[in-house]
Amino acid sequence: MEQALTEDALLGGRIRIRQPRRGYRVNADTLLLASAVEAAPGMRLLEAGCGVGAALIAVAARTENAAFVGLERDANMAAIARENLAMNGMSTIAEIVTGDVFGRDANRDVFDGAFFNPPFDAEGEGRAPSAERRHAHIADEPVERWIAALADRLTGGAALTLIHRAHKLPEILRALEGRLGGVEIFPIRPRAEAPAKRVLARARKGSRAPLRLLKGLDLHDASGARHTPEAEALLRGETTLAWAD
């Protein structure tokens, strides 16, 4: 049976994404990750586990004269991602490879940056997702293996960027130790008075800079608006995440 899809506008309508009606859907995590990725003309960037390609396309939409590769092991999702590239006029600057980061794909190039939004939960952790969402929520491999694999595919000085649950930060820091340096942590809080639920993390190949814990972002406030002005600007692609705060 043909998979039911929706077509949705992102970044204030600047890009459009087809995605499954049921199952994992593009969400705030996707767009926050895209806003955090360092991208500049001449770079070649890799997204691991790119799904339908939304984060990759969001980064490409703000970056001229760069090239992109998305890795996606699910052949159906990879096919939708290719359709999304074509729909947004990006097939000449980006490609989707059906494969993953753990040595089971033919492409072993190195990149000027990499980013990923991995499945957050181990088997038996958290609420059991529906069958349609399982592949996007339950990790077959720990975050350490993602980081190890991607660190080997970065050029000198290149950044690896990821989003994850805040309580996974110790595991992320252990995985980065001895592989990448200049670690920067950007907390994402539901509200100013609440603990962070997500973290964005960035680290560089060959850096010896000390760890930096940044102010972070509040998604909501008491105004009644859907998001804080700062969060709304990031989610609409009007600004990029300020790693320098």
Q: What are the residue boundaries of the structural domains of the chain, listed by start?
A: 5-235
Question: Which residues, 6 or more positions from 199, have their beta carbon under 8 angstroms from its beta carbon?
Answer: 163, 164, 165, 166, 168, 169, 172, 185, 186, 187, 188
182 pLDDT above the threshold of 90: yes
Query: What sign results for the dihedral spanned by CA atoms 41, 43, 44, 47?
Result: negative
Q: What is the pLDDT of residue 202?
A: 98
242 pLDDT above the threshold of 50: yes
Q: What is the pLDDT of residue 120?
A: 66
The correct CATH number of 5-235 out of 3.40.50.300, 3.40.50.150, 3.40.1390.10, 3.40.50.720 is 3.40.50.150
**DSSP labels, 34-74:** HHH----TT-EEEEES-TTSHHHHHHHHT-TT-EEEEEES-
Query: What sign results for the dihedral spanned by CA atoms 119, 125, 131, 133?
Result: negative
For the segment 114-152, what is each residue's pLDDT rounded down to a tens digit? Answer: 999 998 665 445 554 444 443 444 557 899 999 999 999
What average pLDDT does the chain have? 91
